[in-house]
Amino acid sequence: MRENAGVMLTDGDDTPAFMIGDDRGETWTRSRLLGRRTVLYFYPKDDTPGCTRQACALRDAWDALTTAGALVLGVSPDDAASHARFRDAYALPFPLLADTDRALAGAFGVEVEGRIVRSTFLIGADGTIERAWPRVNPDDHLAIVLEALAT
Protein backbone atom coordinates (compact mmCIF):
# COMPACT_ATOMS: atom_id res chain seq x y z
CA MET A 1 0.00 0.00 0.00
CA ARG A 2 2.92 2.41 0.41
CA GLU A 3 3.32 3.20 -3.27
CA ASN A 4 1.28 6.43 -2.87
CA ALA A 5 3.47 7.77 -0.05
CA GLY A 6 3.77 11.53 -0.30
CA VAL A 7 0.91 11.91 -2.82
CA MET A 8 -2.14 12.61 -0.72
CA LEU A 9 -5.48 11.29 -1.91
CA THR A 10 -8.00 14.01 -2.67
CA ASP A 11 -11.68 14.68 -3.35
CA GLY A 12 -13.15 12.11 -5.74
CA ASP A 13 -10.45 9.46 -5.24
CA ASP A 14 -11.43 5.94 -4.25
CA THR A 15 -10.48 4.84 -0.78
CA PRO A 16 -7.71 2.23 -1.12
CA ALA A 17 -8.20 -1.33 0.06
CA PHE A 18 -6.77 -1.91 3.52
CA MET A 19 -6.86 -4.17 6.56
CA ILE A 20 -5.84 -2.77 9.96
CA GLY A 21 -6.46 -3.46 13.63
CA ASP A 22 -7.72 -1.07 16.26
CA ASP A 23 -7.35 -0.49 20.00
CA ARG A 24 -10.19 -2.91 20.77
CA GLY A 25 -8.82 -5.86 18.79
CA GLU A 26 -11.20 -5.38 15.87
CA THR A 27 -10.15 -5.46 12.24
CA TRP A 28 -11.13 -2.68 9.85
CA THR A 29 -11.27 -2.88 6.07
CA ARG A 30 -12.44 -0.60 3.29
CA SER A 31 -15.54 -2.72 2.83
CA ARG A 32 -16.47 -2.28 6.49
CA LEU A 33 -16.78 1.48 5.87
CA LEU A 34 -19.22 1.13 2.99
CA GLY A 35 -22.80 2.21 3.62
CA ARG A 36 -22.11 5.24 5.82
CA ARG A 37 -19.97 8.34 5.82
CA THR A 38 -16.68 8.00 7.65
CA VAL A 39 -14.41 10.62 9.16
CA LEU A 40 -10.94 9.09 8.95
CA TYR A 41 -8.38 11.29 10.62
CA PHE A 42 -4.64 10.78 10.81
CA TYR A 43 -2.69 12.21 13.72
CA PRO A 44 1.00 11.95 14.66
CA LYS A 45 1.02 10.54 18.21
CA ASP A 46 -1.20 9.53 21.11
CA ASP A 47 -1.40 11.73 24.18
CA THR A 48 0.35 14.79 22.78
CA PRO A 49 -1.18 18.26 23.16
CA GLY A 50 -2.50 18.79 19.61
CA CYS A 51 -3.63 15.21 19.16
CA THR A 52 -5.41 15.24 22.51
CA ARG A 53 -7.24 18.50 21.74
CA GLN A 54 -8.30 17.11 18.37
CA ALA A 55 -9.56 13.81 19.79
CA CYS A 56 -11.35 15.45 22.72
CA ALA A 57 -13.12 17.90 20.41
CA LEU A 58 -14.49 14.93 18.45
CA ARG A 59 -15.48 13.25 21.72
CA ASP A 60 -17.25 16.38 22.94
CA ALA A 61 -19.21 16.64 19.67
CA TRP A 62 -20.04 12.95 19.61
CA ASP A 63 -23.82 13.51 19.58
CA ALA A 64 -23.59 15.84 16.58
CA LEU A 65 -21.30 13.44 14.73
CA THR A 66 -23.49 10.41 15.30
CA THR A 67 -26.66 12.39 14.52
CA ALA A 68 -25.03 13.22 11.17
CA GLY A 69 -24.54 9.48 10.66
CA ALA A 70 -20.75 9.62 10.75
CA LEU A 71 -18.41 6.85 11.73
CA VAL A 72 -15.22 8.33 13.23
CA LEU A 73 -11.85 6.55 13.10
CA GLY A 74 -8.54 7.94 14.32
CA VAL A 75 -5.26 6.64 12.87
CA SER A 76 -1.69 6.99 14.10
CA PRO A 77 1.47 4.87 14.03
CA ASP A 78 1.13 4.07 17.75
CA ASP A 79 0.34 0.48 18.69
CA ALA A 80 -2.98 -0.83 20.00
CA ALA A 81 -1.87 -0.74 23.64
CA SER A 82 -0.91 2.93 23.37
CA HIS A 83 -4.23 3.65 21.66
CA ALA A 84 -6.16 1.85 24.42
CA ARG A 85 -4.43 3.95 27.10
CA PHE A 86 -5.15 7.13 25.13
CA ARG A 87 -8.79 6.14 24.57
CA ASP A 88 -9.30 5.25 28.22
CA ALA A 89 -7.56 8.37 29.55
CA TYR A 90 -9.86 10.67 27.57
CA ALA A 91 -12.99 8.48 27.27
CA LEU A 92 -12.82 8.53 23.48
CA PRO A 93 -15.94 6.87 22.00
CA PHE A 94 -14.41 5.99 18.62
CA PRO A 95 -11.86 3.37 17.53
CA LEU A 96 -8.19 4.22 17.05
CA LEU A 97 -6.46 2.32 14.25
CA ALA A 98 -2.91 1.11 14.90
CA ASP A 99 -0.96 1.91 11.73
CA THR A 100 2.36 0.68 13.14
CA ASP A 101 3.83 -0.08 9.73
CA ARG A 102 2.44 3.21 8.35
CA ALA A 103 0.88 1.35 5.43
CA LEU A 104 -2.45 3.15 5.73
CA ALA A 105 -0.72 6.53 6.06
CA GLY A 106 1.30 5.68 2.96
CA ALA A 107 -1.78 4.61 1.00
CA PHE A 108 -3.53 7.89 1.82
CA GLY A 109 -0.35 9.88 1.18
CA VAL A 110 -0.12 11.47 4.62
CA GLU A 111 3.38 10.26 5.50
CA VAL A 112 5.91 12.85 4.37
CA GLU A 113 9.62 12.47 5.08
CA GLY A 114 8.92 9.90 7.79
CA ARG A 115 6.32 12.03 9.58
CA ILE A 116 2.57 11.66 9.70
CA VAL A 117 0.92 14.86 8.53
CA ARG A 118 -2.25 15.59 10.48
CA SER A 119 -4.90 15.09 7.78
CA THR A 120 -8.56 14.16 7.58
CA PHE A 121 -10.71 12.43 4.97
CA LEU A 122 -14.48 12.38 4.75
CA ILE A 123 -15.28 9.14 2.98
CA GLY A 124 -18.69 8.75 1.39
CA ALA A 125 -20.94 5.75 1.83
CA ASP A 126 -19.76 4.48 -1.58
CA GLY A 127 -16.07 4.51 -0.57
CA THR A 128 -15.19 7.66 -2.50
CA ILE A 129 -13.39 10.48 -0.74
CA GLU A 130 -15.83 13.38 -0.48
CA ARG A 131 -13.38 15.78 1.14
CA ALA A 132 -9.68 15.67 1.97
CA TRP A 133 -8.02 18.14 4.31
CA PRO A 134 -4.21 18.15 4.45
CA ARG A 135 -2.29 19.69 7.33
CA VAL A 136 -5.29 20.12 9.61
CA ASN A 137 -5.09 22.48 12.57
CA PRO A 138 -6.33 20.48 15.58
CA ASP A 139 -8.22 23.49 16.92
CA ASP A 140 -10.16 24.01 13.65
CA HIS A 141 -10.65 20.33 12.85
CA LEU A 142 -14.07 19.79 14.36
CA ALA A 143 -15.64 22.82 12.68
CA ILE A 144 -14.56 21.77 9.19
CA VAL A 145 -15.74 18.21 9.74
CA LEU A 146 -19.16 19.26 11.04
CA GLU A 147 -19.59 21.74 8.19
CA ALA A 148 -18.81 19.05 5.61
CA LEU A 149 -21.15 16.54 7.25
CA ALA A 150 -23.97 19.09 7.06
CA THR A 151 -23.78 19.10 3.24
Give catalytic residues, as residue numbers: 51
From first CA to last CA, the distance across the chain in angstroms is 31
The Cα 74–Cα 59 span in angstroms is 11
79 neighbors 98 (Cβ within 8 angstroms) = yes
Distance of alpha carbon 19 from the chain centroid: 14
Cα angle 73-75-76, degrees, rounded to a multiple of 5: 160
The Cα 149–Cα 97 span in angstroms is 22
Give the CA distances from residue 20 to residues 92, 102, 112, 124, 151, in Å, rounded to whole numbers and listed in that order.
Answer: 19, 10, 20, 19, 29
